[in-house]
Amino acid sequence: MDKLFEGLLNHHIGFVVWSTLAFVILFVLLRALAWKPILGAIHERERHIESALQAAENAKAEMARLTSENESLLKEARAERDLILKEAKELREKMIAESRATAQAEGAKMIEKARIEIEGQKAAALAEVKNQVSSLSIEIAEKILRSEFADQSKQEALVSDLLKEVKLN
């Protein structure tokens, strides 16, 4: 056993010291030059990829949300359009009915007016006709009377007749 370890320190201490030194220097240099930047870059990239994936996922969700929102908006718009159309229809019908009623009333009023006018005109025309007839009949009567009383004797006979009729009370 003694023989095995004899001179161990003498012959090998140098190797242990140098290799420890070399490894420690390697460790320090690589840690500063390589491991920190490389691991940092890898970590950064992984985070970037992760966040990009997350963003894509979010965008997808947003897209879905927008689509469904669009759909509901469309539905709403359609319903609104239907409502507006219905209202317009109703309004139209009402307006038509109203205007019809007004027209009818107006017509009736006009007819009435025309009737009154016609009535008036008729009365006036009848009055004219009556006047004409009366003046014509007076003229005719005058003419007849003139021709009747052209002879003096006839006139005196008539007066005497008439006088005879009239008895003094």
Binding footprint of other proteins on the chain (CB under 8 A)? 7, 9-20, 22-23, 25-27, 29-31, 33-39, 41-42, 44-45, 48
Widest CA span of the chain, in angstroms? 214
Q: How far apart are CA 36 and CA 48, in angstroms?
A: 18
Beta carbon of residue 14, minimum distance to other proteins (angstroms, whole number):
4
Which residues are within 8 A (CB) of 148 and not within 5 positions of it... i.e. 6 or more apart?
Answer: 154
Query: Of the two residues 33 and 136, which places its CB atom closer to other proteins in the complex?
Result: 33
Query: Of the two residues 30 and 110, which places its CB atom closer to other proteins in the complex?
Result: 30
Query: Of the two residues 33 and 105, which places its CB atom closer to other proteins in the complex?
Result: 33
Beta carbon of residue 54, minimum distance to other proteins (angstroms, whole number):
16
Query: Of the two residues 38 and 63, which places its CB atom closer to other proteins in the complex?
Result: 38
Amino acid at 76: E
Question: Torsions phi, psi of 150, nearest 5?
Answer: -70, -35
Helix boundaries (H) for 6-35: 8-30
Beta carbon of residue 52, minimum distance to other proteins (angstroms, whole number):
10
Alpha-carbon dihedral of residues 152, 154, 160, 165, nearest 10 degrees? -150
Identify whether the C-beta of residue 44 lies closer than 8 Å to the C-beta of residue 38. Answer: no
Beta carbon of residue 24, minimum distance to other proteins (angstroms, whole number):
8
Beta carbon of residue 44, minimum distance to other proteins (angstroms, whole number):
7
Query: Of the two residues 6 and 93, which places its CB atom closer to other proteins in the complex?
Result: 6
For 153, half-sphere exposure in the C-beta direction (CA atoms, 13 angstrom radius) is 0
